[in-house]
Amino acid sequence: MISSIKSNFALNLANTVSGLLFPLITFPYVSRILLAEGIGQVQFYQGIINYISLCSALGIPLYAVREVARVRNDEVRLCKMAIEILLLHSALTLVGYVAVYILVVTVAKIQVDIPLFLLLSTNLFFAAIGVSWFYQGVEDFKYITIRGIAVRLFSLVCLFVFVRDKSDLFYYAAITVMANVGSNLFNFVRLRKCLKIDLLCLKELHPLRHLRPALKIFVVNLVISVYVNLDSVMLGFMKNEAAVGYYTVSTRIIRSILGIVQSLGTVLLPHLTNLVSNNRMEEFRKLVGKAIDFTLAISLPMTVGLIFMAKPLIHFFCGYGFEPAILTTQIMAPLILFLSLSRIMSWQILFPLGKERLVAYVMLAGTFVNFVLNLLFIPSYSQQGAGVATCVAECLTAVISIVLARKYVRVKLFSTENLYYYIVSLFMAVWLYIWRKLLADETGYVFIGILSSVLIYGGFLWYKGDTFIFQFRRAFVGLLDKNVFRGRI
């Protein structure tokens, strides 16, 4: 079991890293060409499309991962469920395009660039046929990784070829769509090879039976989507595209870093669901405990590092025209820790246990706080105000999630071993602060700061005999075997 999780985590981490590298490589180039206004316009439209996509999906992707994981050992039930969910999602997507049409003919801000908005709306189509949930449910992370990397490499080439000046905004949007969901077309084509469709009878298909349980997850997803898109949409309406652009830069950097931590969650969800389905609760609790330890070990130093590295990172990736995004990034850096913890508690503990309603309540509380604080702070503080609102809301969400999760598993955030992560992260913060005062050169600061921080953090944990450090060492020298993940993930 642990060996397969290790392998899937490595594959999903590789796919995540490739997804992180795409914006990190392209953003310095794109930001200097399209500037904050161009990026902000795409993000504003994309935020609206994301809401439509969320409503047309009705929680199906996450629901499908869990249900596929439950029946993946039964070929007939697996095939039937996959086809039913695909049909339901496709039908709902048609309704989504009706919403797109209504917005195009009624909203003035969308009518400014209708072709751009319609182009971004193709996300709906690719999301419907993508069936990524199927490959996650059966834990086929090798395929997900290969096709993801291939499509992103092709998108990277297209970006440098077709995006040359501010008038190429349409090309940038098309390439962004391709990089994010273009690989879904390959998912759909390959699905036929994974399912034994000849075993099915059309009369036995009942797509609507999945509608009600998916709706429960939709409520949760709707609330979560507010965190992802509401700030950009509210900034677009209450401020301007430039503010959205600055905010987008900050969130993109944070969520790129966050993706590394959340790679583990993508792998664990189907596995934890399978453990619960087979009533292997002791294994479930142990695995969750290891996931929490891993999350703290990774997210704490990343949070500290981003606070002190925000200025040189913004200058390097976006240029000096994005100075207003520096403070926003520093304000939002704690999201790496808050989001990591809340996702573990909600999606790796409560969700596999069938506690979607509790997750919905948690997210609803955070959403309300986020919305109210946005209304209060955005008019006066623009993107910084949106950053504060999101941080406060996510902190509240994390705290409530931890309290609820404690009813089902032991959540030890301040165990003896975990305490070392807090101590060395604090020492790392002092170290980076000193170097920032000593070095005026940003390139030298980034190089020395990152290298010394890794040595300090890793060296201290090595001295204390932390299990994660020894596992990373084994991975580095190529000595991983079936016993590597014994103890911690």
The pLDDT tens digits of the residues spanning 198-218 come to 666 666 777 778 777 777 777
| Identity of the highest mean pLDDT range in 26-40, 200-214, 441-455, 464-478 | 441-455
Nearest Cα neighbor of 468 from 457, 453, 482 is 457
Alpha-carbon Rg of the chain, whole angstroms?
22
- Quote the CA–CA distance of 367 and 396 in Å, as a whole number: 10
Q: 458 falls in which pLDDT band (50, 70, 90)?
A: confident
Q: 10 falls in which pLDDT band (50, 70, 90)?
A: very low
**Least confident piece of the model among 194-203, 284-293, 381-390:** 194-203
Q: What is the mean pLDDT of residues 18-32?
A: 68
Q: 21 falls in which pLDDT band (50, 70, 90)?
A: low
Query: What is the CA angle 304-305-307, rounded to 5?
Result: 65
- Quote the CA–CA distance of 338 and 397 in Å, as a whole number: 8
Q: 371 falls in which pLDDT band (50, 70, 90)?
A: confident
Any long-range contacts for 83-87 (C-beta under 8 Å, 24+ apart)? 83/195, 83/197, 83/200, 83/205, 84/205, 84/206, 84/207, 84/209, 84/210, 85/60, 85/133, 85/207, 85/210, 86/128, 86/129, 86/131, 86/191, 87/205, 87/207
Please report the pLDDT score of residue 367 as a whole number: 81
Q: Does position 451 have pLDDT exceeding 60, yes or no?
A: yes
Number of H helices, E strands in the chain: 20, 0
pTM, 2 dp: 0.67
Query: What is the CA angle 73-285-210, rounded to 5?
Result: 45
Please report the pLDDT score of residue 11 as a whole number: 45
Residue predicted with more confidence, 6 or 47: 47
Whole-Å CA distances, 274 to 139, 279, 316: 11, 9, 44
Please report the pLDDT score of residue 426 as a whole number: 92
The pLDDT tens digits of the residues spanning 53-76 come to 878 877 787 778 878 877 777 777
Dihedral of alpha carbons 89, 92, 98, 104, sign: negative
Q: Are 120 and 177 in contact (CB under 8 A)?
A: yes
Residue predicted with more confidence, 126 or 265: 126
Whole-Å CA distances, 449 to 171, 315, 421: 37, 16, 18
